[in-house]
Amino acid sequence: MTTLPTVAHQRIRSTVSNGSSNQALAMLPDPGESRACAVRLKSIHQSKRKKPMKLCSLNKVVRAATAPVVLALVAVAGLSTFSLEASAQSYPSRRITFVVPYPAGGATDVSARLLAAKLSDAWKQPVTVENKSGGGGVVGNDFVAKAQPDGYTVLIAITQIIQAPSLVSNLPYDVFKDLAPVTQVALSPIVLTIPDAQPMKSFKDLIDLAKANPGKYPYGSFGNATTSHLYGELLKKTANIDMTHVPYRGSAPLLNDLLGNQITAAFVDLTTAGPQLSAGKVRALAVGGEKRKPQLPDVPTLLELGLPGFEAEGWIGVFVPAATPKDIVTRLSSELARIVASPEGVAGLQTVNLLPVGGTAEAFEATLRRDHERWSNVVKAAGVKSE
């Protein structure tokens, strides 16, 4: 027979013992379904001064009264599971929303719109992009983490989502518990650049200049506690130099001051710096990551230059709420990976100097866990704190 959980037993038992039969009745399910039990409870209250009721008898009363509630809850849970399974079989049957936790126009937004257009063509359903910026990406990330887990609200996120746990206390979500990885879209290379007006011709020239003039030369980043800032502070530690950090509100204003020779050097994403590198207005001294980049084959990695710790790099990835049915995650992952690997997908991403990745949800999860450890080590080594 279905029984009431122990806590509920104790509450009703205590209420009856204290002489509050009306309160006890309020705890019961529909009075019409539990009329016999209600009469029994009143009888208990009227006779309790004459003869204490046996605990086993009260247990029977409580069980009879609460069985309909427990059964109803089980039924609701069963219907919810059935509903999710049924929706997985028919997915997608309506509009899908891609949430970008940053303003329109950046590499993340461009990637999201490319994927949205191709996914809509393939599935014959509308796919829209909604920008929910704020809190350095936290607002949009949290929105999706708490969304209905049905595959219709999808997050297009960047590396910040895996850096934030090491930088921000009391995040409103846990990336490993509240979100499920779908696929890694692309890598976003970070490049150490200098203005063409600067006399340095190599990475060694920059380090020698900085060592000879501690604290004199500024370096820029596209924001406090970003990949750009983490790279800059790690460079100071590993190369034993002192340069003043100047944070900007994004890559565009950072590049403007770099072009104007207002700062000596900067770590800039290749999407932003690419056109100016091609035009010869800024020069690349080094890149992050494990390998050289196809767009900059002659530019060495920081690892090649003898500086470890820069293997972790920026990326763009797709997530859904954690409770999304596995069938939906798999179908969405397969289709998006196909789009990323398609000639149109590759060309679209390369146009903004992103390196296509794709792959399964399982492969992306492995990347997340690896990069979480990598960025945690970078944060500790660089001593960076989010403001």
Question: How confident is the model at residue 103, as a pLDDT?
Answer: 84
Q: Do 242 and 214 form a contact (C-beta atoms < 8 A)?
A: yes
Report the pLDDT averaged over residues 326-348: 97
Q: Residue 308, Cα to own-chain centre: how many angstroms?
A: 26
pLDDT category at 65 given cuts 50, 70, 90 is: low
pLDDT category at 386 given cuts 50, 70, 90 is: confident
136 — alpha (psi -120 to 50), left (phi > 0) or beta?
A: left
With tokens 């204003």, the residue in question is: 253
What is the sign of the dihedral through the CA atoms of 221, 227, 230 and 233? negative
Question: How confident is the model at residue 106, as a pLDDT?
Answer: 81
The alpha-helical segments, DSSP class H, found in 6-54 are: 6-17, 21-27, 35-47
CA distance 95 to 328: 15
Is the model more confident about 74 or about 98? 98
Taking the model in full, what pTM does it have? 0.74
CA distance 368 to 166: 13
What are 167's strand-pairing partners?
A: none
* Identity at 341, one-letter amino acid code: A
Question: How confident is the model at residue 87, as a pLDDT?
Answer: 63
Portions of the chain given CATH number 3.40.190.150: 96-184+316-381
Question: How confident is the model at residue 79, as a pLDDT?
Answer: 52
Report the pLDDT averaged over residues 20-26: 42
Question: How confident is the model at residue 89, as a pLDDT?
Answer: 82
Average pLDDT over all residues of the chain: 84
190-287 fold: D-Maltodextrin-Binding Protein; domain 2 (3.40.190)
Q: Which residues contact 262 (CB under 8 A, 6 or more apart)?
A: none
CA distance 328 to 319: 12
Portions of the chain given CATH number 3.40.190.10: 190-287
CATH classification (class only), 96-184+316-381: alpha beta
Question: Picking from 76-90, 227-241, 284-298, 300-314, which range would have the lowest pLDDT averaged per residue?
Answer: 76-90
SS3 content of the chain, % helix, strand, coil (to 5): 50, 15, 30
pLDDT category at 107 given cuts 50, 70, 90 is: confident
Question: How confident is the model at residue 25, as a pLDDT?
Answer: 39
